[in-house]
Structure 1
Amino acid sequence: MNKSLAHKERIAGILFILPFCVSLFVFFVYALGRTFLFSLQSYDLFSAPVWNGLGNYLALVGDPLFILALKHSLAFSIVVTTLQTGLALLLAMAANKQVKGKGVFRTIYYFPSILSSAAMTLIFMWLFQRKGVLNQGLSWLSAHGGLLAVALGIFLAVQTLQFVLGRRRYDWVRWGDPFHLIVSLGVTAIATLVLAGLGVGVRDLAEPVTVTWLNTRETFGPLPRTIWAIVAMNTFTTVPTLMLLYLAGLQSIPDSLYEAARLEGASAWQQIRYITWPRLMPVSFTVVTLGIIGTLQMFDQVALLGDAAPLESKITLAYFTYHNAFPPGGTPRIGMASAGALVLALLTLVMVLIQRSVGVSETTND
């Protein structure tokens, strides 16, 4: 009876994992093997494949477009992963505060992640037009920069004055006291309106700012200006999801640890350094790993730009693979595309392994 029950349970287990095994074999093992085979051949989808050996890989090394795509993908991955990890942690710490209406703030933070990538790309393309919202905002800042600087000076002066006067009577008064902030903002707003009416700090622009963000080959630092626009877009849409992971990690840390640290006289920075950060290391490993994989394989946002940006200013490894497989008005090069795809997969694996070794090392040292 026991053998029969064990046999039935074994069959049930096999049946449960069978759909996953089939999909894994068809869409991963078979696809990977087929891609590797294509990478060793010259194939254009219309004629019979011709054996090429390592010719496609050697052609990749000598292809300036591939080298440019590799440079862009690595720089994009490092920049975006760093930005989205830091911003996700800061937003999670802000959302974890015990304040009224925090559910509304969390919803607002997370909202960009539920929008489709295509919709967000079209919105950002509109923002980054020569006469788009971003350039209009830069024009306004250029015209009112002096007024904003004066307003900032007024705010700091009023806030500091309240702090100095308050400390004379109460030792517990802090510079960022909420009541003082409200008073300072009110005084600053009134003073700014008066100065704006008098024309102080406001200048007329000869021409509005018309920076070309997309249809340009100009570079800024390690990336073209076009990809910097994609950096902003990608960071904006991915940070909220990563914020939820950090928020879950923060809520799993017992409050008793912070209470004990405060009793011992630990500052806020020391609590973050010795309590929060070490206990968030597993979450950070997950966040950074997801960031590396997602940024190295970034494709849709580049593809949706279409003719709005030149190829050299938007090319990445994923788009290089697509461009070789489906070149506009050209002959498909499936062998080159397959070789590029395998290089991208290998690069992703290497980056994740490096990140894993660094993460494990930091965890061990802590």
Structure 2
Amino acid sequence: MNRKKLEALQGWSFISPALIVISIFVIGSIIFTIYISFHRVNLFTGYYEFIGLDNYKRLFNDTKVLIAFKNTLSFVAVVVPIQTFLAMVMASVLNAKIKGVKVFRIAYFLPTLTSSAALTMIFMFLFSLYGPINQIALQLNIINEPINFLNDAKVALKVIMSMNIWSTVPFFMVIYLAALQEVPEAIYEAARVDGATNVQQFFKITIPQLKPITTFVLLMGIIGTFQMFDQAYIFSNGSGGPENSTLTVALLSYRYAFGQNSTMGFAAAIALVLALLILVVSLIAQKLNKSDTLY
């Protein structure tokens, strides 16, 4: 055996444990999910019945599925643009040579270090009927009586949106901050010589230069919001909130899989449709990002 083949064999031997784990727990799980999506399944009793495309046909007739997709798409449409823009603005501010900026970098990143469960509990306290938000609004005469944010179908999802934005912006801010380090300072200096203001520099230089990073951030944000489960689950105790106003696709899939009337096959069909939707979005983002460069 020549040296080249020996090195290749050694390489495969090093990565084989990881490949085995991936094959069993990732690829194997995907294949099993596809399999049970064509069956009526109860894993607790071991019951399997092949029903073809019935689970997929049911997606179009189940009102909860339609509500969950509507809520999830609304969540994506509101959260992703706001968190992306705020992350870019904050990164631009922190990238400026301002005294004490390192302290602000640490402070801004703290929400990302907070666990999702703890963060949800904090926001539930803040927006509770007699919580700080209501008390401040009453003191400022913004409202005449407390708003039941947690149990009002009109605002419950908006509370989760604000929570998600607050917790994810710092993470994307760090990505933007790293990308800004690669943008040549000479571009900004030339713009300042031509009389460009800071706002003009942001919209005419920063945003175009960060286009490939923005594509990546948008993709990560879309994937994350499509998969949003833990905050919605804790916020509503798994019920989906008042009038299913905080019901997401991931939460609905969980409820059908592990609810009292376990319908694992239908839950698998929901999860696969969601995965397919995320895959399509990912491919579109990759195509848009293919020819982009930083500068």
TM-score (norm 2): 0.92
Amino acid at match of 2:194: E
2:247 to 312, 315, 320: 315
Q: Distance in 1 between matches of 2:16 and 2:46?
A: 36
Change in CA separation of 1:240 and 1:49 when aligned onto 2, cut-off 3 Å: same
Question: What letter matches 2:91 in structure 1?
Answer: A
1:354 positional shift: 3.4
Residue aligning to 1:227: 157
Q: Confirm or deny that 1:30 pairs with 2:23.
A: no
Partner of 2:42, secondary structure, is coil
Q: 1:213 aligns with which of 125, 149, 173?
A: 149
The TM-score, its normalising length taken from structure 1, stands at: 0.75
Partner of 1:41: 39
Please name the residue that 2:13 is paired with: 15
Q: What corresponds to 1:252 in structure 2? A: 182
Could you say which residue in structure 2 is the equivalent of 1:169?
A: none
Matched, 1:289 2:219: yes
| Alpha-carbon offset, residue 17 of structure 1 | 2.1
Is there any run of 5+ residues in structure 1 with no aligned partner, and where?
Answer: 146-204, 220-224
Which amino acid in structure 2 is aligned with residue 301 of structure 1? Q
Q: 1:40 to 1:74 in 2, by over 3 A?
A: same
Q: Percent identity?
A: 38
> In 1, are the aligned partners of 2:240 and 2:248 still within 8 Å (CA)?
no
Equivalent residue letter for 1:43: V
CA RMSD of aligned residues (A): 2.1
Structure 2 partner of 1:178: none
Counterpart code for 1:72: N
Query: Which deviations, in whole Å up to 9, do the C-alpha atoms of 1:5-61 show, x marking residues without a partner?
Result: 223211221023223322321222111110011100001221420001000011111
Give the 3 Å change call, closer, same or farther, for CA 57–248 of structure 1 in structure 2.
same
Counterpart secondary structure, 1:78: helix
Aligned partners of 2:200, 2:158: CA distance in 1, in Å? Answer: 35
Aligned residue number for residue 93 of structure 2: 94
Shift in alpha-carbon separation, 1:210–1:80, aligned structure 2, 3 A: same
Correspondence for 1:325: 257
Matched with 1:200 is none
Show the counterpart of 1:238: 168
Q: Distance in 2 between matches of 1:333 and 1:121?
A: 28
Q: Which has the larger radius of gyration?
A: 1
Q: Secondary structure at the match of 1:49?
A: strand
Rounded Cα–Cα distance in structure 2 between residues aligned with 1:134 and 1:358: 41
CA distance in 2 between partners of 1:269 and 1:216 (Å):
39
Contact 1:302 1:314 in 2 (8 A): yes
